[in-house]
Structure 1
Amino acid sequence: MKPGIKLKVIVTRRLPREIEARMMELFDTRLNEDDRPLDREALAQAVAEADVFVPTVTDTIDGDLIGQAGPDLKLIASFGTGVDHIDLAAARERGILVTNTPGVLTEDTADMTMALILAVPRRLSEGERLLRGGDWQGWAPTTMLGHRIWGKRLGIIGMGRIGQAVARRARGFGISIHYHNRNRLDGETEAELEATWWQSLDQMLAHMDFVSIHCPSTPATYHLLSARRLSLLRPQAYVINTSRGHAIDEAALVRLLEAGRIGGAGLDVYENEPVVTPKLLTLDNVVALPHIGSATIEGRRDMGEKVLINIQTFADGHNPPDRVIDPAG
């Protein structure tokens, strides 16, 4: 950039107020004042005009859209950890850097996962509905019986930062930790977490009381919990997903929940967001949340700070710290 000329930054959704204020100070920034998701035409106009484009994980930035980018677009600074919504190969071919905001949502997502692990077997959501609906008749020895958490087995699929943070929380509730990961953890970490590695995902699923998904979004993880794998679960097992909705075959999950072949599910993400399979919302053994696993004030602020740092570092002529490398590049 020429000295004294500010980068033109276009943002697709409202960000925390302090982040937007700082962005306006540093750059020639266009905000999305009404916070409505941009349609395809508006996204195309944004990439055609921007020096830096700031989408979120709900904006689809595919090869066709990147092909409409103007000559000045050199950085896509995504507000979010995942980058499966961006065609990295197309960006690389056009010489456009892509950054994300990794590492700031670990604890928030782990907190929400643990909340779901507690909520589903103890029927917390169902109990609240009972009370709010005026249908509670008072305490009774056999009313609202759930299942004990202590002593149960948790199978974690994907033992990265979030998976390990969940394991640390679950240990405090007396839950034994098991995991399936492409690569086994080092001995020190495994010992710290008191975690047992299963090379076979199928074998692990058949022995767990809880299964929690924490794998990245890749073609290989699409329907990782397929109808066949879901059928391996014990009838009293619970499925928890705060990762990616398409990791589970949602239709198969509904069928097994309805048939009593699975004990229950705690879900914060869905296969076709924002559309949710209607039947999921009618089942008492499902706790369904609107993708709020990372929705904390602190987490959103930290994400925004990373976006600012990535853009400013780029403006200063250096490689942004959170640059995403296209695996095919």
Structure 2
Amino acid sequence: AVCTRRGIAVGHTPGVLTETTADLTVALLLAAARRLPEAQAAVRAGEWTTWKPLWLAGRDIHGSTVGIVGLGRIGRAVARRLRGFGCRLLYTGPRDVPEARELGARYVDLETLLAESDFVTLHCPLTPRTRHLIDARALALMKPTAILVNASRGAVVDTGALHEALAAGRIAGAALDVTDPEPLPPDHPLLALPNCLVVPHIGSASVATRTRMAVMAAENLLAGLRGEPLPHCANPEVYRSREGTGR
């Protein structure tokens, strides 16, 4: 708003990372559900010996209930992928989303979503209202077998409360692409937990997506240097206001 009032066009790269971030979200969910980091560590430690019935037994995704907090572009992309697993989809947010019907997702309040979901995945923006949305109270509502996935913003989750819940076994696991603080220091207690998977904010980290982001940024830069409207502009109304003032 400040830039618009001052006649400054703001460039961005809208939508470019939606599908790639959704891919990573499902990868995190799968990795945590099937305990892949623990399994890899066990192999490297020489623990793979004879077959044991429940050794490294994880959670099924097919037929599970997945709660999506925030059914925006990324949340909807995640829902499309999870339909292929035969998941029951719940979602919550500030309002009902018309596209949810075709995705087979049902709108519920946050408390219901937390209580009924086997997996909870976060895709909401960080605002004063969503800061620490997942706090000790919210975590206490989740099933002890549930897994939390966060690929939105780290501060949506109360890190201390999450550590306590994981360490005490109040929820089964967590998979995080974002943290608070970010990056986590190497000696952070979350990193010592076998049921917490943390990756370094790599939601958009595919070669194709990062290339497209660079191209879109360059297109904006070149247009700006030529005095042309930015092709990927966050505040296109700035050009209408310029026309009105003759600038």
Normalised TM-score (structure 1): 0.68
Q: What residue in structure 1 maps to residue 212 of structure 2?
A: 302
Task: State the alpha-carbon separation in 2 of the partners of residues 233 and 317 from structure 1.
Answer: 53
Specify the SS of the correspondent of 1:154.
Answer: strand
Match of 2:23 among 97, 105, 111: 111
Kindly state the Cα deviation for residue 171 of structure 1 after the two structures are TM-superposed: 1.1
Say whether 1:261 aligns with 2:170.
yes
Kindly state the Cα deviation for residue 285 of structure 1 after the two structures are TM-superposed: 1.0
The AA in structure 2 aligned to 1:286 is C
Matches within 5 A, 1:155-304: 155-186=67-98, 189-198=99-108, 200-276=109-185, 278-304=188-214
237-246 or 135-144: which moved more? 135-144
Q: Structure 1 segments of 4 or more deviating over 4 A?
A: 91-95
Specify the SS of the correspondent of 1:220.
Answer: coil
Q: What residue in structure 1 maps to residue 229 of structure 2?
A: 319
Q: What residue in structure 2 maps to residue 133 of structure 1?
A: 45
Kindly state the Cα deviation for residue 94 of structure 1 after the two structures are TM-superposed: 5.3
Q: What do residues 231-281 of structure 1 show as CA deviations (whole Å, max 9, x unaligned)?
A: 211111110011111110011000011111111001111111112471111
Give RMSD over aligned pairs: 1.8
Q: What do residues 105-131 of structure 1 show as CA deviations (whole Å, max 9, x unaligned)?
A: 111111110011111121111000000
Specify the SS of the correspondent of 2:95.
Answer: coil
Specify the SS of the correspondent of 1:141.
Answer: coil
Task: State the alpha-carbon separation in 1 of the partners of residues 150 and 50 from structure 2.
Answer: 33
Identity within the alignment, %: 45
Task: State the alpha-carbon separation in 1 of the partners of residues 114 and 189 from structure 2.
Answer: 24
Task: State the alpha-carbon separation in 2 of the partners of residues 196 and 153 from structure 1.
Answer: 11
Matches within 5 A, 1:39-118: 89=2, 91-92=3-4, 95-118=7-30
Task: State the alpha-carbon separation in 2 of the partners of residues 318 and 184 from structure 1.
Answer: 38
- Whose Rg is larger? 1
Specify the SS of the correspondent of 1:231.
Answer: helix
The AA in structure 1 aligned to 2:167 is E
The alpha-carbon distance between structure 1 residues 322 and 222, as it changes in their structure 2 partners (threshold 3 A), is farther
Any unmatched runs of 5+ in structure 1?
1-87
Specify the SS of the correspondent of 1:217.
Answer: coil
Q: What residue in structure 1 maps to residue 62 of structure 2?
A: 150
Task: State the alpha-carbon separation in 2 of the partners of residues 93 and 306 from structure 1.
Answer: 24
Task: State the alpha-carbon separation in 1 of the partners of residues 145 and 216 from structure 2.
Answer: 42
Task: State the alpha-carbon separation in 2 of the partners of residues 143 and 230 from structure 1.
Answer: 26
Q: How many residues in Structure 1 have an aligned counterpart in Structure 2? A: 235
Any unmatched runs of 5+ in structure 2?
237-247
Q: What do residues 101-159 of structure 1 show as CA deviations (whole Å, max 9, x unaligned)?
A: 11011111111100111111211110000001222113222211112221111110111
Q: Does 1 or 2 have the higher relative contact order (CA < 8 Å, sep 6+)?
A: 2
Normalised TM-score (structure 2): 0.89
Kindly state the Cα deviation for residue 207 of structure 1 after the two structures are TM-superposed: 1.1
Task: State the alpha-carbon separation in 1 of the partners of residues 153 and 15 from structure 2.
Answer: 17
